Structure 1
Amino acid sequence: MSRTNAPSTDTRTSNEFSKDGEAAADATAAEASGDQPSPLSLDEIFEVLKNQRRRHVIHHLKDIDDTQVALGDLAEHIAAEENDKSVNALSSGERKRVYVGLYQCHLPKMHDMGIVEFNQDRGIVALGPNVTQLEPYIDPETEDDGLEWHRYYLVLAIVGSSLLGMLQLWGGSAGVGSMLPLGLLVGALAGLSIYHTLYKSDELPAFLE
């Protein structure tokens, strides 16, 4: 007489099945999020691109043939750019200043935003998935033009100051009230010129240190 094998039963409880399902869902979500970089806001993009040293990092990583670069080599290249020297002509202080700034400040911030991948233990830097979101804003043909606004502000402030002086000379004390808006505008233009000049540079002037 033949025996019929009893169907095998899974001894796992309903709670275990539920946990397995949640784990699979989490893995799928993590995989999906890893494939698609999170979008950067305009404030975040500006936060990165307002700094010249960070722009140098992006340009250099896009220009090199390799997919990654050693932090020391990157720091030397940027130090040479900032000091308008060859790498061999750099002093140890110039190298160290850029290296420390990249290691402690710029690269960790860019890594957190997905713009670069920075392995601090190995000292290796590569482009991150979010760097493509910056490409419309870092066109080398237009970037330099965008950095010259401080000159226009300064010229307008000088012209406004001259006009203000002439109005005061001709109008005397009677025209003080009408000149107040122009004076405020001149002050604002001068402030914008200073603001853009400081943003363009990574180093504070000596009198502000």
Structure 2
Amino acid sequence: MANNDGNNTADQPEPQEPESDVLSATLSVDAVFELLASNQRRDMLHVLRDDPEKTATVTELITHLMDQEAQRTGTRPGRDQLEMTVHHIHLPKLTDAGIVEYDARSQELRYWPDKRLEALLDYISEWDLA
């Protein structure tokens, strides 16, 4: 069969539409557990996942983490210490796993969904509320 350009398209596969905006599970179970082991990373993932654009700035995330920590413990953590933890621990883990893309110039993060991670994140969240 030839297309309008005269090229044979019978051997070319049809492009596949993604099933949804959530990628199929690509992380190993160990990687998912590693990412979700920190309540701060879980909080960051919730913010990113729940944002309509799947984005947030580092400043927004740090402010959210400070609020969450104050709720959990009754004391507000120091912003500088939390910012160092985010930049040197949490962001590298999330970007190395391919879950977050980080633009250092704009200080913006973009979340790339993973079904396995989100299923366990939801389960942990329900358990935390119980």
Q: Give the TM-score taking structure 1 as reference length.
A: 0.44
Q: How many percent identity over aligned positions? A: 28
Deviation at 1:40, TM superposition (A): 1.3
Q: TM-score, normalised by structure 2?
A: 0.67
98 and 46 in structure 1: CA distance in 2 versus 1, 3 angstrom threshold: same
Judging by fraction of residues, say which structure has more helix: 1
* 2:60 pairs with 1:73: yes
- The 4+ residue runs of structure 1 with deviation greater than 4 A are none
Structure 1: segments with no counterpart, 5+ residues: 1-35, 149-209
Asked if 2 retains the 8 angstrom alpha-carbon contact of 1:111 and 1:128, the reply is no
For residue 69 of structure 1, give the secondary structure of its aligned residue in structure 2.
strand
2:25 and 2:121 map into 1 onto residues whose CA distance is: 19
Shift of 1:38: 7.6
Deviations 1:92-122 (A, max 9, x none): x622222111111111111110111112232
1:16-55 map, 5 Å: 39-55=26-42
Q: Aligned pair 1:136/2:123, yes or no?
A: no
Bigger Cα Rg: 1
Runs of 5+ in structure 2 lacking a partner?
1-22
Deviations 1:6-64 (A, max 9, x none): xxxxxxxxxxxxxxxxxxxxxxxxxxxxxx77821111111111111110011111222
SS of match in other structure, 2:30: helix
> C-alpha distance in 1, partners of 2:127/2:90?
20
What's the Cα RMSD here?
2.7
Higher RCO (CA 8 Å, separation ≥ 6 residues): 2
